[in-house]
Every structure is written in C-alpha cells, then in structure tokens.
Structure 1
Amino acid sequence: MQMSIKYVGKILKNNGYAFHVVANRIVNTVILPTSYAIKDIFEYYGFEYIKTYIRDIPNKRMPPMNSPTNVAGETSKTMLKEHIVAMKKSDNIINID
C-alpha cells in the first residue's frame, strides 16, 4: 500500500485529489483500521486529509456473518462498509523519492 501511495504522490499534480477505497477488515473479532493506515501513509507523503466517506459495500458477495473462532454458534460480522479516504496533494509538497 505504501509503495502505491508513494507512486500516486509522484504522478499527481499539486492540489490534485486522491481517493482510496478500502474496507476495515475484521480478523477474529478485531477490526483492522485500514482506512486510518491509508490516511497516515498519505499524510506521510505530504497529502492533506479531506474526509472519509463510509457507505455500504455494493454487491457484496461475502456472507454478512462468519465464524472466525470456529466455535459453533459464535459469529462475527464481516466487512459490511467501505471507506473512501479523500486526500489532497499539497501544493508545497517536497519531492517524493
């Protein structure tokens, strides 16, 4: 992810916008906040955070619930929402190498 964001920083014009769509994955009932990691990596490369839009995942093919512990009757939600992280490339960004 970091390398792709770095590449976006190299090719995007100053004051341009980047939108990254991710889902915060749930592993064994623990939410992995991928959207926050994406925001942090973009900021590391000089981008300004605009907003994160959250919406239902359209045409979801995974079941809404699963059993991450493999214990009968214990279920947990799967990824139900996608996070669209909006960032803006600063006009005073230092060269990204």
Structure 2
Amino acid sequence: MSHAVHVVAIIRVTPERAPELEAELARCLRDTRKEEGSVSYQISKDLEDIGRFTAVEEWASQAAFEAHLKAPHFQALAALSEKLEAKLDIMQLQPLDPAA
C-alpha cells in the first residue's frame, strides 16, 4: 500500500533576490498542481520576512513526490534557487492524525 507524502519546505533568499524567486515559485506552482499525484500544493510568502517562502505539499505517494523532483519545472526552480544561493529546509512529515 502506498502512503501519502507530506512535505514542508522553507526557502530563504535575500530580500533583493525575493522577486525573482517569487516569480519562479509561481510558475512552478501552476505546473506542479497539474502533476499526477499532486494532492495539495501551496506556496506562501512571509509578509514579515521578505525573502522567506513556505511550500506545503501533499503527494499521493513517494513515487509521485520523486517524479515531481525530476519534473522540468521543479528542476528550473532548483537551478534558480542554487543561482540565488537560497537556503532550503525540506521536511518530509508524518501527520499524527491518522485521518490525514
């Protein structure tokens, strides 16, 4: 049986680099929501800390999440993140609520 994968990612860049990252995050968001196995995908920007973004994701399976990591739109985001020297904190989580 395949279990859902829950991911939270926090991405940080300097405030002057935030607009460029935000534009790429928006492109990635649109394409990711179309991916097979994407249950929920939300990216938010921090209103108090310019340059900090949070992605909250749910994938139908580990295979769906791994396919996302190889998708061209995600690879473009990863390349830009590296160019902008983004700091990433990515967590795969297991909800305590068994209904989740």
TM-score, normalised relative to structure 1: 0.32
Choose between structure 1 and 2: higher helix proportion.
2
Q: Which has the larger radius of gyration?
A: 1
